[in-house]
Amino acid sequence: MASTEEDGSVEEKENNNKKRTKSAIALAWLTFYNIAMTAGWLVLAIAMIRFYIQRGTHKGLYKSIARTLKFFQTVALVEVVHCAIGIVRTSVIVTSVQVCSRIFMVWFITNSIKQIQNEESVILFLVVWTVTEIARYSFYTFNLLNHLPYFIKWARYNMFIIMYPLGVVGELMTIYAALPYVRKTGMLSMRLPNKYNVSFDYYYFLIIVMLSYIPLFPQLYFHMLRQRRKVLLGEIIVEKDE
């Protein structure tokens, strides 16, 4: 009996040790990740400001920052893994929609269609993403380090109220601007007959993507409003399984 209790407590201690080690590794990784992402988006912000000051125009801005943007936005796919393995308490679905829609905007719209890279709407979503991400990643970093200045917490949970709709406007206007080029060139489309016997029209796919913002965006926005109430106003919110 005594030995069983002893075994139990040894096992418990081992489990606790494992948990502690895992959470220490997770903590170290998240701290590194968030510092790197804050730095990445800061580099983007500085590059955009410098470009505009030197050239006095937004034309060519996307091209000048494309590499850095593609790198840091693509790396954000890791955030879906963070949720999936449970090292951050966020819904995999909400995070996937957010990250995938951004990656889609970068790779399959802005990067693929050179003719739209100088649209004002591209600059709109780039500026909005950059400001938001600097606030978001610095919030996570300082929070993990237990030294969170109030203004960063305030910025994280207030700026999105304006920034989110603005970002969506920029993204939708950019996709809209891409439509004529997609239709004219037939890019990324497959017409019948072909050896796979499959037909895909990127033009209509983009229209479906634009329409999908109607049900999906409110869910992200309301998720953030709930987070805001929880963090800023201390409300206890029982989340449904997502």
Ligand X SMILES: CCCCCCCCCCCCC/C=C/C(=O)SCCNC(=O)CCNC(=O)[C@H](O)C(C)(C)COP(=O)(O)OP(=O)(O)OC[C@H]1O[C@@H](n2cnc3c(N)ncnc32)[C@H](O)[C@@H]1OP(=O)(O)O
Cα dihedral 116, 72, 149, 163 in deg (nearest 10) = 20
* 165 in Cβ contact with 124 (< 8 Å): no
- Judged by beta carbon, residue 134 or residue 209, the one nearer ligand X is 209
CA 184 to chain centre: 31
Given the residues 62, 137, 171, 203, select the one marked as catalytic: 171
- As measured in angstroms, the least distance from the Cβ of 198 to ligand X is 18
Residues interacting with ligand X, by CB under 6 A? Answer: 30, 34, 79, 88-90, 94-95, 97-98, 100-101, 104, 128-129, 132, 136, 140, 143-144, 160, 163-164, 167-168, 171, 209, 212-213, 216-217, 220, 223-224, 227
Would residue 171 show up in a list of annotated catalytic residues for this protein? yes
Would residue 164 show up in a list of annotated catalytic residues for this protein? yes
- Judged by beta carbon, residue 57 or residue 210, the one nearer ligand X is 210
- Judged by beta carbon, residue 61 or residue 135, the one nearer ligand X is 135
Compute the C-alpha angle 131/137/143, nearest 5°: 130
Count of residues for the chain? 242
Strands (E) located in the chain: none
Given the residues 164, 181, 213, 221, select the one marked as catalytic: 164
- As measured in angstroms, the least distance from the Cβ of 141 to ligand X is 8
Cα dihedral 214, 220, 222, 227 in deg (nearest 10) = -170
Residues designated catalytic: 164, 171
